[in-house]
Chains A and B, each alone.
Chain A
Amino acid sequence: MILLSFLFIPILTALLLLFIKNNQLAQRTALVFSVLTLFVAIGMLCNKVVDFNAVWLPNLNSRFILHADGLSKILILLTAISFPAILIATAKNDFKQRNIFLSLLLFTQAGLMGVFLAGDALLFYFFWELALIPVYFLCSIWGGEKRITITFKFFIYTFLGSLFMLVGILFLNAHTADHSFLIQSFMSANLSAGQQITAFALFFIAFAIKMPLFPLHTWQPDAYEQSPTAVTMVLSAVMVKMGLYGVIRWLAPLFPAAFMAHTHVVVVLSIIGILYASFIAIRQDDLKRLIAYSSIAHIGLMNAALFTHTQIATQGALIQLFSHGINVLGLWMVADIIEQQTGTRSMQQMGGLAKKQPVLAILLVGFALANMALPLTNSFVGEFLMFTGLFQFNPWMAAFAGVSVVLAAIYTLNMVQKVAYGEVSEKINTMQGPNKGAQAVLIILLMIVLVTGVFPQPLFTLTADTLQQLFVK
């Protein structure tokens, strides 16, 4: 039942919000219930979790199964942390029809939770779409100037990808012994090598678009830039993890032979993506685009690590799923505070944040260092493990991917330098600084960064069972 509450709290709150016209009240309701979800998530970590299993579509042999192992738990925790943080961070931003906005946001949360919990392929597909559709409306209504075309591109891209996945699911369903959609029966489906590769390709297109993997990434920077910040945070902190989650949960266990046959191709594509995104990030002047490209690079590294199929790199990626979410959340929050108060995203017009707003500058530097995977920050743990695994897989690949660390240092430090130091610019001079709530959230996030950086053992323990399933037969 505890798993069911991850779906019901957001959905019921979202429905309730449709009727709350008062902005203040809507904001508070959304916040209270998302904090409740967070508490339930923390409660889940402390207790033993029972699967939820109910009849859904008897004709089709599809069941409503929610299952949580370490991988699900870590992503649920990330989702549960992100939403209150996002709500507090954007509390002061000005929206029309705030209750609808919040309602759609919480529907997205329910979709994400469902994706991470579903133990039945058809259910998984349902939630996969449920997470996407509210985002389409969120971005198209509240986004930037070019929002309609950009969001439509994003939508068609991901929708086409998920339709391919649907064909893959149907294909597997036709080849299972009991014609069910359970992940266990999918695993025991008897597929020839050719069939495995077909199904692998159908699933992988959906995941690759979501991540996004080079060369399917073209929707992402534009979508991040044009979305309202709250949605950008959801997209980059949690939603891109759907693709990686899919790889770990569905791709690797279901099609082991096809997976092993494609490791090199995918790792090379990921590394191209990493380097490509890093180089573009160096050239960016727009703060949001810089973070977007840096995010592509980090996700690419995680994907490369997963496709090495070494235990150590996969462990790193599992931790990094969480760490990257926290870091990118912090970065977006700082960027949003700056953008809201100065009205610009161009780094040339910034400068001197450290003199004017020392606390904000410290927070920015903290997250920036975490973005570079400096030791003592959470990313270091994950990236170190991932690079070790990549090295075991192929030293050359590790070498090329390693360049990205240097590049990350270049663009991140460059960003810090332009924003925090130098002459106090006109725009920065007018800033009032973050409000209390946002500042508190940022400090908590930074604490998580440091604590999990120094003491990552709880995250290892949490994900141990997933790792065991993947590598110990």
Chain B
Amino acid sequence: MNAIIVSTLLGVIMMFCSWGIKNVQAQKNIALVGLLILIFANLAHANAWYVFEYDTKGMLRFNSFGLYANTLLFSLTFIYVWLNGEEISKLSKTPADFYSLFFFILCGISILTSFDNLLMLFIGIEILSIPLYILTGADKKNMFSNEAALKYFLMGSFSTGILLLGITLIYGATGSFHLTDPVIDKLTGMAHEQMLLSAGLILLFAAMNFKVSAAPFHFWTPDVYDGAPTVFTSFMATIAKAAGIIAFINVFGSQYKALAFSWTLLLTFVIIATLLVGNIIAVFQRSVKRMLAYSSIAQAGFMLFALYGKSEIAKEGVLLYAVVYSLATIGIFAVLIKMKENSFDAFNGLSKTNPLLAFVTTIFLFSLAGIPLTGGFFAKYYMLSALLKAGAGLWLVILAVVFAAISIYYYFKIIQAMYFTTGESALGVVPKYYTNKLLIIAILLLVLGVFPNLLLNYLYF
């Protein structure tokens, strides 16, 4: 509860900031302090220190997994703002507006990690999505940004409609919005209600797939990610997406696992399609930004394995995956922002012009590809392990591994450009401190690649 209230308050405060404080640097610092307060408030909650406490009639139910997910996602946002503050400031005279939107998104996230009621799911998703539509269109004078925002908004509302329809059907069948009510047991034997419930679940499933950009509901992703300003693409592809996955797990990992037969097969299909579409199309991209959009689809496919796993190890895994994937992707986008163009050629000969930057980019790419000694390896490891423990066929694991090998191809294209191709890189001016910040992220990834426990142990406190 702390996080929901505090993030909303901070959002409002940030909104008025742009009115009182003109210095963009100060606005960024206020946002960073705000994020620290938010993290602190959430930790306070996790340690049973409730500043705000309401009886939500069971609509929200806080558990250690959700709270820890909050902490991690808030921390990632902190790293994101700390790294990208200057870039955000370039997009508007009053960047505090954007920070305020971030806080509203975080409010949505903290609902999505703790809801126990389908209405709260709907509200959480809307609070998360609407600021994202605005952020996509933040580059007001750029037609692509406008187009992307409109597309995202139309497609997003459409999927929200489907989500609502699904929720309605489920309500019709069970008479309850609650996830943990034991209503499903009462349903045995009533065929038409079962059917209503299944139909509702499938619609809900489709809508959630849309939110996490899983195939075949991924069509909006490349266009939106490509059109949105790169800084915000970085946020959408990482933190917002991770929240979507966690929400997905919260719905379908709860009581609805009693109905596993009706959606496990669908999920398998969706995961395979997502991995296939993401990986294969990414191979053919010429723009790094679009490649990363498809790569984010492919990585979402991997994260969905946690839903398949439904075990403790899957839950640990999805948190690790979300953090590691977000760090690496935020890092790559931060490098891409400094490029004058988005093609692979922009990276040519980067190892000569800026060896440190080339090195950190290599670590990010290694992590995305899942190479040992980087966090990405353990992320993938947990997912595969969860799959096996859930009793999935070995063929599915092997298929996942083959797709991971394919991903090497497009990630290493950047490494090849940086190290083995001679040429002039299209790198703009990169201040020293910026590279150092990226280095810190890279070191974090390396540490997580040897000791993933450092992150996961806190899940049990």
Contacts and interface: CB of A to CB of B under 8 A. Distances in A.
Interface of A: 57-60, 125-126, 129-130, 133, 137, 140-141, 147-148, 152, 155-156, 159-160, 163-164, 166-167, 170-171, 173-174, 198
B154 interface: no
B412 interface: yes
Contacts of A141: 419-420
A59 B456 contact: yes
Nearest to A58: B453
B123 interface: no
B416 interface: yes
Given A57-B452, A126-B372, A147-B420, A166 B408 contact: no
Contacts of B372: 125-126, 129-130
Given A59-B453, A148-B421, A159-B405, 15 more contacts: A129-B371, A129-B372, A130-B372, A133-B371, A156-B405, A160-B402, A163-B401, A163-B402, A166-B401, A167-B394, A170-B388, A170-B397, A173-B385, A174-B388, A198-B394
Interface residue SS majority, chain B:
helix
A174 B389 contact: yes
23 contacts: A57-B451, A58-B453, A59-B452, A59-B456, A133-B366, A137-B419, A140-B419, A141-B419, A147-B420, A148-B420, A152-B412, A155-B408, A156-B405, A156-B408, A159-B408, A160-B405, A163-B402, A163-B405, A164-B401, A170-B381, A171-B394, A173-B385, A174-B385
Q: Which 6 A-B pairs have the closest CB atoms?
A: A129-B372, A163-B401, A160-B405, A174-B388, A140-B420, A126-B372
B97 interface: no
Contacts of A171: 388, 394, 397
Classify chain B: how many residues form its interface, as a range: 20 to 34
A148 B398 CA distance: 27
A170 to B, nearest CB: 5
Nearest to B405: A160
Contacts of B111: none
Nearest to B366: A133
Contacts of A164: 398, 401
A140 B398 contact: no
A240 to B, nearest CB: 21
A137 to B, nearest CB: 7
Interface in B447-461: 451-453, 456-457
Given A130-B373, A171-B394, A174-B389, A166 B384 contact: yes
B219 interface: no
Interface string B378-401: 000100110011000010011001
A129 B373 contact: yes
A171 B397 CA distance: 10
A140 B416 CA distance: 8
Interface in B365-381: 366, 371-373, 381
B409 interface: yes
B418 to A, nearest CB: 11
A129 B374 CA distance: 11
Given A59-B453, A133-B371, A148-B420, A167 B398 contact: yes
